[in-house]
Structure 1
Amino acid sequence: MTAPTHRLGWLGTGRMGVAMASRLLAAGNELTVWNRTRAKTAPLADAGARVADAAGDLGVCDIVFMCVSASADLIEVVELLVAANARPDLIVDCSTVSAQASAQVRSRTAEVGVGFLAAPVSGNPAMVSAGDGSFVASGPEDAFALARPYLEQIGRSAVRVGEAEQSRLVKLCHNLFLGVVAQAWIEVTTLAEKGGVPRADFLEFLNGTVLASDWIRRRSADLITENWSPTFTMALLRKDFDLGLGEARAVGSPMQLAATVHEQIQSAIGAGLTEHDFLALYLEQARAAGLRG
């Protein structure tokens, strides 16, 4: 198969953006990047990317990928792109944002003849850097066909689930599940520890059972050593729980477990753990169990 040769742009060079864009560069693509804080583009510039002076400069690209932190950011940066003299053929958004913001952006890009694909990514920066990210996409079939070769250069899979904003809901369901699994894992680990079983011994046993997963095995060392360096912050998890529970209310789907975990996340943020990795939920659980003051 002939390698794709589109002119690519990348907007948003936080931890996740750098991890994804780096894989496009490593695959041999020419890439132009932009970020509000120019200094954050340095790792990509060092790897061979061209740095644009303004977001609108990416309009000369055929496809612009983006990864931003919040719904308002998506709306703002897309407007910068579509307001420029030159516009891309397709915008591919890899952020985790609300379906409402995504629909607003889709409508705006359609007004000016620009394609839009919602393609949020699953995986933390380390996983994405290793090629273990996964994409769920929604939008027109031809837009997915155009973006798919590049998404598969970044991650190990790209699945299309609908024509509109379905991928936003799927990604929120994923992150709700992640938070519920993490809290359940932390609760049983804390119970074993409170009963006198060393944390490392319990996790060694658990990781040899059918209940373990690649993610639990990978993160066990962090839970043992209490390494809360962020792969995904508590603040971002709360944002996704806010969005996910909002979607559940909108469609009338009960989320009893997720609602309880949402309160635990809020407690952890109230305790000052906002920018810690979300596995720092352990600290709140240990405190409630009397293992911490």
Structure 2
Amino acid sequence: MSGQEKTSLKIGWIGTGRMGFAMARRLIHAGYDVSVYNRTRAKAEPLGKLGATLVDNPRDLASCDITFSMVSGPADLKQVISGDQGVLSDKTQAPSIHVDCSSVSAEGSADVRKDLADRGAQMIAAPVSGNAKVVEAGMLSIVASGPEQAFQTVHPLLDCLGEGVSYVGDGELARMVKICHNIFLGVVTQSLAEITILAEKGGVKRHAFLDFINKSVMGSVFTRYKTPAFVNLDWKPTFTPALLKKDLDLGLSAGRTFGVPQPLTALTREIVQSMIGNGYQDIDFGALLELQAKASGLQLTSENIPVTDGLTKKN
């Protein structure tokens, strides 16, 4: 895509929560002409100061070439695309491609894909892996599915959002990949909580234990960027227990459909449900560490030690 094509391309963005805000900002910084809608306008206003055009409802984005959405669930996606004030409520025009980066079910995604197809628009499902800090560091991972030609059109835009895009085929295959990813996220976090508490009860400081894990073959981008929260008990939300439970439920439903037993997923789902029942609501799911500590008779305190999250900001 040439510089001229980039500047002339009109992009619409729907949803400026923690993730959507950071992602839209990257497109603005990359020089794209971006118009933004968010249900709570005040949350989108800082993007206006960066050069975005703020609109009053999704319908105002119908004239854009390509639209994006990052919303909470399938009902929200249906509303912003096919609702009374949705993108498709303008009967005279519609974007050529819509890219949805939300975590929604395959069924909800397919429903909206059909609505778009009825208006001659194509859809790319492009759920993401990471949080707002990962987006800011340019390390967001994206999995995409849909018509290959449409994917090739939006590929440069997706590249602006992170460090790589994995195209997995047509239809809703990206939704399956994201569900599997979030199952892994929950199971790994619970396992990390268990072994961290075991090490601490055995006399090892959390920061020292996690430093070793991060330097070992078991370390990962995820264990590294979760380390500051585990060490200093910073549970500012990046992904809430309720959202994790939703994805674990989707995964278990898929397992029943395809006949795949998931004993670890089922157990993790019940632990997350217990977490919610114990009052962990608007908090990061990494607080599974605290639940594990309570179950182990350990009173956690912050170690108040500066540790790296492993994220190096990229342009």
In the superposition, the TM-score normalised over structure 1's length comes to 0.97
In the alignment, what sits opposite 1:265?
272
Report the Cα offset of residue 271 of structure 1. 0.8
Cα distance in 2 for partners of 1:214, 1:234 equals: 21
In the alignment, what sits opposite 1:82?
88
Which whole-Å deviations, capped at 9, do the CAs of 1:50-76 have from their partners, x for residues lacking one? 001221010010000110011111111
Asked if the contact 1:132–1:155 (Cα under 8 Å) also holds between the matched residues in 2, the reply is: yes
Cα distance in 2 for partners of 1:158, 1:207 equals: 25
Cα distance in 1 for partners of 2:257, 2:205 equals: 43
SS at match of 2:218: coil
Residue 158 of structure 1: which of 156, 162, 165 is its match? 165
Cα distance in 1 for partners of 2:205, 2:128 equals: 35
In the alignment, what sits opposite 2:251?
244
Cα distance in 1 for partners of 2:65, 2:31 equals: 16
Residue 46 of structure 1: which of 46, 49, 52 is its match? 49
Report the Cα offset of residue 176 of structure 1. 0.7
Asked if the contact 1:268–1:281 (Cα under 8 Å) also holds between the matched residues in 2, the reply is: yes
Question: In the TM superposition, what are the counterparts of 1:112-127 in structure 2 within 5 Å?
Answer: 112-127=119-134
Residues 1:111 and 2:118 aligned together: yes
Gaps in structure 1 of 5+ consecutive residues: none
Residue 39 of structure 2: which of 36, 40, 52 is its match? 36
In the alignment, what sits opposite 2:228?
221
Percent of aligned pairs sharing the same letter: 48
Report the Cα offset of residue 214 of structure 1. 2.2
Which whole-Å deviations, capped at 9, do the CAs of 1:156-178 have from their partners, x for residues lacking one? 11121111100000011111101
Residue 55 of structure 1: which of 33, 45, 58 is its match? 58
Report the Cα offset of residue 254 of structure 1. 1.0
Residue 295 of structure 2: which of 283, 288, 293 is its match? 288
Which whole-Å deviations, capped at 9, do the CAs of 1:70-112 have from their partners, x for residues lacking one? 1111111110111213211111000000000011111111111
Instruction: Specify the code of the residue in structure 2 equivalent to 1:70.
Output: G
Report the Cα offset of residue 207 of structure 1. 2.2
In the alignment, what sits opposite 1:198?
205
The count of residues paired between Structure 1 and Structure 2 equals 293
Report the Cα offset of residue 220 of structure 1. 1.0
Residues 1:211 and 2:214 aligned together: no
Residue 24 of structure 2: which of 14, 21, 37 is its match? 21
Cα distance in 1 for partners of 2:104, 2:95 equals: 21
Residues 1:2 and 2:10 aligned together: no
SS at match of 1:9: strand
Report the Cα offset of residue 275 of structure 1. 1.3
In the superposition, the TM-score normalised over structure 2's length comes to 0.90
Q: RMSD of the alignment, in Å?
A: 1.3
In the alignment, what sits opposite 1:64?
67
Cα distance in 2 for partners of 1:252, 1:171 equals: 19
Instruction: Specify the code of the residue in structure 1 equivalent to 2:51.
Output: G
Report the Cα offset of residue 129 of structure 1. 1.5
Residues 1:140 and 2:147 aligned together: yes
In the alignment, what sits opposite 2:135?
128
Report the Cα offset of residue 240 of structure 1. 1.1
In the alignment, what sits opposite 2:309?
none
Asked if the contact 1:18–1:43 (Cα under 8 Å) also holds between the matched residues in 2, the reply is: no
Instruction: Specify the code of the residue in structure 1 equivalent to 2:53.
Output: R
Gaps in structure 2 of 5+ consecutive residues: 301-315
Segment of structure 1 superposing worse, 35-44 or 56-65: 35-44
Segment of structure 1 superposing worse, 141-150 or 78-87: 78-87
Cα distance in 2 for partners of 1:44, 1:249 equals: 43
Cα distance in 1 for partners of 2:216, 2:137 equals: 25
Report the Cα offset of residue 208 of structure 1. 2.3
Cα distance in 2 for partners of 1:20, 1:221 equals: 23
Instruction: Specify the code of the residue in structure 2 equivalent to 1:124.
Output: N
